[in-house]
Amino acid sequence: MLNYPMNFFQSTFLSLFLGLRISRDTEESFDKFDRFINKEIKTEDKEVYHGYVSKHDQGVKYKGCIIVLHGVSDNRRDFLANYHFWKNMRNDFLYVVPEFPGFGESKLPFTKAGCYKSFILWMQYVKKYYNVYNFIIVGQSFGSTLGLDFYDYMYTHKKLEDDSANNPPYNPFF
pLDDT digits (tens, 9 = 90+) for 6-61: 455 445 444 444 444 343 444 444 444 667 888 899 999 989 888 888 887 667 88
What's residue 83's pLDDT? 62
Give the E-state strand segments of the chain in sequence order. Answer: 36-42, 48-54, 64-69, 93-98, 135-139
Q: How far apart are CA 135 and CA 148, in angstroms?
A: 13
Report which of 64, 40, 34, 8 is spatially closest to residue 125, judged by C-alpha positions.
40
Sign of CA dihedral 89, 77, 148, 157: negative
Residue 121 covered by a domain = yes
Residue 16 covered by a domain = no
For residue range 59-113, list pLDDT tens digits in order. 788 999 988 888 777 667 766 666 665 667 778 889 998 888 887 778 888 888 8
Question: 39-50: b or e for each residue (b if 16 or more CB lie within 10 Å)?
Answer: beeeeeeebebb
What's residue 161's pLDDT? 56
Number of domains in the chain: 1
End-to-end distance of the chain based on CA atoms, in angstroms?
A: 61
pTM score:
0.67
Backbone angles phi, psi at 49, to 5 degrees: -115, 120
Residue 171 covered by a domain = no
Report which of 67, 51, 84 is spatially closest to residue 146, judged by C-alpha positions.
67
Residue 60 covered by a domain = yes
Residue 174 covered by a domain = no
Residue 109 covered by a domain = yes
Helix axis angle, 112-130 to 142-164, nearest 10°: 70
Supply the CATH number for residue 136's domain: 3.40.50.1820
Those residues with Cβ within 8 angstroms of residue 6's Cβ, 6 or more apart along the chain or in another chain: none
Q: Which domain holds residue 153?
A: 22-164
Residue 116 covered by a domain = yes
Residue 134 covered by a domain = yes
Residue 125 CB neighbours (<10 A): 18
Rounded (to 5) percent helix, strand, coil in the chain: 40, 20, 40
